[in-house]
Every structure is written in C-alpha cells, then in structure tokens.
Amino acid sequence: MIRSMTGYGRAQVTLSEMSLDLEIRSLNSRFLDASIKLPTELAHLEGQVKQQLQQGLHRGKVALTVVVGASISADQGGLFDPEAFDDVVRQVEEMKKRMGDNSRFTLQDVLPWQARFSGVGGSGSLGQAGDNTMGKELTEEDRKAFMQAVDQAIASTLTMRQKEGDQLRVAMEAMIEELSVLLTQIAELANERATATKAKLRARVEELLDGTAGVDEDRMQTEIAILADKMDISEELVRLQSHIDYVKEAIEAPEPMGRQLNFLAQELNRELNTISSKSYSSDIAHLVVQGKEKVEQLREQIQNIE
C-alpha cells in the first residue's frame, strides 16, 4: 500500500458540557512520533488516544491538537449565569477599592470587564464562557464520543495520505519501468561483450607470449576463463531484476511497506555500483549512471511513504 506520511485531518464533537475541535497534522518521520495536546478535562485519555494513533497511523511525525470551543450554554444562546456575574461584580468592586474609587457603579460599569473574567462570555453575553466546564468530570458517554471523534480525525488524515500516496505510486511505477528498460539494455550489452572479451583476452595473452614455446593451452584457457569470470555481471543483473520485481510487489502489498522499499532502494544502488566496477565498459557505465539517478529519485519518493 502506497500511502504518504504527510496528511491533515479534522473532526468536531459536541459533548454534554462543551464542543471540541480536533486537528491532526502529520509529516515524514522514520518512526511514529506522536505529539498530543489535550485540554485538562481529557488529559487522562492521552494513553488511549496515543494507542489509536499508533493503530491508524503507523509512521510519521503526528501532532494531535484538541481545542475546547464554546460551552453548551453558549450554544443555547448565552443564558445568564448569576454566579459568574456576582464574581465579576466582586472583582470590579475590589479593583475600585484598591484604586481609591468609592463611587457607586452600575451594570454599564461591569459589562466592559466581562471578557476578562471566567464565567462571563467574551462575545458580549453573560454566561457564555467555556471556562465553566473546567474541573467537571467527563461522563462515559462523553468519553466514547470523544474517542469516536479521534477515529474520525484519523480517518480524515488517512484519506489525505492515501490521495498523496496515489500520486507517489504513479511516479514510482514510472521510475521502476525506466529502471527496467535500463537493466534490459545493460544485459544486452553484457551478452555482446562476453564473447568479445574472451577473444580479446586470448589475443592479448598470445601477444605477450609472442610464440614462446611450452605454453600450456589448457592453462591458458583456464586463466582466460578466470579473468572473464571476474568481469561477469550476470549474477548482479539477476539480483537487480529480483529487487525490481520485489519493489513492484511491495507497491501492491496491502500493508505499509515504506521501510522495506527504503531497504530495496539501497540494494538496487549496491548492485548498480558492483556492475559499474566489474563491467569495464564505458557504455555500461553510462547506463549505470542513469540507473543510479533513477534509484535516487525513487529513494526520495520512498522517504514520503508510510
């Protein structure tokens, strides 16, 4: 399964005392690195939230942020909260006393301060503040609703990851196809070179011996075969093709294969380096350079895969 590690997801949920906005952002990372920011009322659920993130998002630097929105009282039109209002009055009285202002004050003197005190709403209506929910115990129904919202945020993130993964898959398949073409060309050059190399080695040996008597023909054939074997790249070509086939299988696999693909990219590069060092052919060396360029492009894309 080709799925990007980069993604974004959101979810919203309304509990009995407050509404919550959930946001997930994920970036590339070698392992799962989860950062969770919960309001005080939900702090005890961090372990459960992290477990759900681990089950849904296998890799990536993941940041989950939960923000408390308006309280239910605000959603219901900002009902008057006598206790919150009395608290504001007491604090305004204390401020006036400390400033030496003994004059009486009216409702108009209180209202401008309402946004600065918990329990009185910042939008201009008394009793709309979200701080009233602080310290209240979370019900089991609220807990379940919140955890479902976490699942929704994860699902939203996965949807975006999958869309980006589909684009990565198209690009990777094109790179693998180009690498397969280069491999075929290298194999053809290697086959053409095998016979010519043996003939060239024999001619060179005969030139160096210059008709010297006592040359053992069998020994010469053996030495030529040894030299030719050192230049043979058939095993490297077989392994290279095997790695390419495995990359294709990994792309089709249902589970995340980012780590395996990263390892295969290293092995592809290793085989190309060996072919380059053994080939003693400028034409093959040129094709190897192109192949290594494709592998590097492939590796860059793999870094984004879950």
> Over the stretch 147-166, which tens digit does the pLDDT of each residue have?
999 999 999 999 999 999 99
Provide mean pLDDT across the span 192-196: 71
Maximal C-alpha separation, the chain: 130
Q: Residue 279 corresponds to which tokens in the numbers above?
A: 């080939």
Q: In this model, does residue 77 exceed pLDDT 90?
A: no
Residue bearing tokens 């942020």: 65
What's the mean pLDDT when you consider all of the chain? 81
Q: Residue 191 corresponds to which tokens in the numbers above?
A: 């086959």
Interatomic CA distance for residues 234 and 239, integer angstroms: 9
Do 297 and 269 meet the contact criterion of CB atoms below 8 Å apart? no
Q: Which residues contact 257 (CB under 8 A, 6 or more apart)?
A: 1, 2, 250, 251, 305
Per-residue pLDDT band for 131 (boundaries 50, 70, 90) equals very low
Looking at residue 233, its pLDDT comes to 86
Strand partners of residue 262? none
The b/e string for 249-261 (b: 16+ C-beta within 10 A; e otherwise) is: ebbeeeebbbbbb
Q: Which of 19-23, 195-199, 252-256, 271-275 comes out lowest in average pLDDT?
A: 195-199
Q: In this model, does residue 72 exceed pLDDT 60?
A: no
Per-residue pLDDT band for 216 (boundaries 50, 70, 90) equals low
Packing angle of the helix pair 234-252, 258-279 (nearest 10 deg): 160
Q: In this model, does residue 227 exceed pLDDT 70?
A: no
Q: In this model, does residue 208 exceed pLDDT 70?
A: no
Looking at residue 260, its pLDDT comes to 92
Per-residue pLDDT band for 49 (boundaries 50, 70, 90) equals very high
Task: Name the class of domain 163-302.
Answer: mainly alpha
